[in-house]
Amino acid sequence: MLSKDYIIGLTDGEGSFSIYPRPSKVSSWHNRVECHYYLKLRKDELPLLKKVEEFFKCGRISLQRDKRINHSDCYRFEISDLKNIQKIVVPLFKRNTPYSVNRKRDFELFCRIIDMVDKKKHQTPIGWKKIIKLKSRMHK
């Protein structure tokens, strides 16, 4: 079994806290915000990702094909269920903050957006704009 410190370090190097706003054409009440925790590793690291999946006891692993020159196919471990993110991912990383300045900032913004989504703020015009603004500060 992998340790939490190993997961934190792996996330610092190969992980991502990501937000995908999905605006509705109907009304702001139908706006969606997808929240994802990812780890992406080379194809030959699949056994490690299976251990990560065992550690979290949720999530899924998928193949990510890459046709770019000098790139190879990868596997991605992903947790995208909001309840699992709130109950498992967020508490782990709040107790064990990532070391990387960028990853730490992304996690803090990720948590703020998740809190807004949990409170249904993404379904109001003001909340939606704030989420878009917070998301624009991620992955810099």
Q: What would the pLDDT profile of 53-73 be if each residue is shown by its tens digit? A: 999 999 999 998 877 777 788
pTM comes to 0.91
Domain residues of the chain, as ranges? 4-136
Q: How far is CA 28 from the centre of its chain?
A: 23
Q: What would the pLDDT profile of 63-108 be if each residue is shown by its tens digit? A: 988 777 777 889 999 999 999 999 999 999 999 999 999 999 999 9
- Once rounded to an integer, what is the mean pLDDT over residues 1-26? 94
Which percentage of the chain shows pLDDT scores above 90?
A: 85
Q: Give the CATH fold of the 4-136 domain.
A: Endonuclease I-creI (3.10.28)
Helices 46-56 and 4-14: crossing angle in degrees, nearest 10, is 130
Of 23-27, 40-44, 52-56, 135-139, which gets the smallest average pLDDT?
Answer: 23-27
